[in-house]
Amino acid sequence: MIKDSSKVSYYINNKYYSEILDGLKDWSLEVGKVSPETCREIEQFLFRESRLVDEGRMEDWLDLFSSECLYWVPITPGGGNPLKEVSHAFDDRRRLEDRIYRLRTGYAYSQIPASRTLRMLSNIEVWQEASEDQLRVRANFVLTELRTGKQKLYSGWNGYRLKKEDGEWKIVVKQVNLIDSDQGHENMTFIL
């Protein structure tokens, strides 16, 4: 049987949640140095990811993700527990595809007019995981959103788990940690 993540989130199960929760403590581990060349390669990858979202190239952005992936914006600072707490976003591959499709229909009223965003990344740190083809990355961000004449500022840090698939880096987990995640937010329907 072929597992198709566009129809069923077969990989989001208790084991997956357990791995996510176990991995929360890893964001502060400073072990597993990588070469300067690898750091530069990952910086370019993250800069491209940010630019694709800011340019509204959502399908190209989604291509940067693995077929089994997670995009998570927790409410609890640093992560919390998605089994017991609400999240701003907890999207698997299927849900990300749904989100992009909905934004493209023109009927996503919370995005009429569409947000214009610009983000800056800094303090990019890259660490080797147990496997040579897996990396753990942390990067600070500042994101400016302009919509209906109002400008908003979001900041925090992203945690990424990357793995090489067919010679290319893919995002397995992107955890967006807003500095004010536990505060009230309105209309966060765009991609952080």
The total of other beta-carbon atoms located within 10 Å of residue 169's CB is 23
User: Is residue 41 classed as helix, strand or coil in its secondary structure?
Assistant: helix
R_g of the chain computed on alpha carbons: 16
Q: What is the 3-state secondary structure (H, E, C) of 57-82?
A: CHHHHHCCEEEEEEEEEECCCCCCCC
Q: Which structure tokens are listed for 192?
A: 């952080």
* pTM check: above 0.85: yes
Q: Do the domain assignments include residue 3?
A: no
79 domain-assigned: yes
Whole-angstrom distance, CA of residue 105 vs CA of residue 143? 25
> In terms of DSSP H, where are the helices of the chain?
14-23, 36-54, 58-62, 93-105
- Please check whether residue 29 lies inside any domain of the structure: yes
List the beta bridge partners of residue 134: 163
Whether 24 and 79 have beta carbons less than 8 Å apart is answered as yes
Measure the CA–CA gap between 126 and 188, rounded to whole angstroms: 28
Q: Please check whether residue 87 lies inside any domain of the structure.
A: yes
Q: Tell me, yes or no, whether 152 lies in a domain.
A: yes
100 inside domain: yes
What string of pLDDT tens digits covers the 192 residues of the chain? 445 555 556 677 777 777 877 777 788 888 889 999 999 999 999 999 999 999 999 999 999 999 999 999 999 888 888 888 888 888 889 889 988 888 777 777 777 787 899 999 999 999 999 888 999 999 999 999 998 889 999 999 999 999 999 999 999 999 999 998 888 877 666 777
Domain-located, residue 9:
no
* Residue at 8 is within a domain: no
Q: What is the pLDDT at residue 17?
A: 75
Q: What is the CATH number of the domain that holds 139?
A: 3.10.450.50
Give the burial string for 15-24 (b: 16+ CB within 10 Å, else e): eeeeebeebb
- Give the chain's domain count: 1
Distance CA 150, CA 166 (A): 42
At 9 the pLDDT is 67
Q: Which domain holds residue 88?
A: 14-178
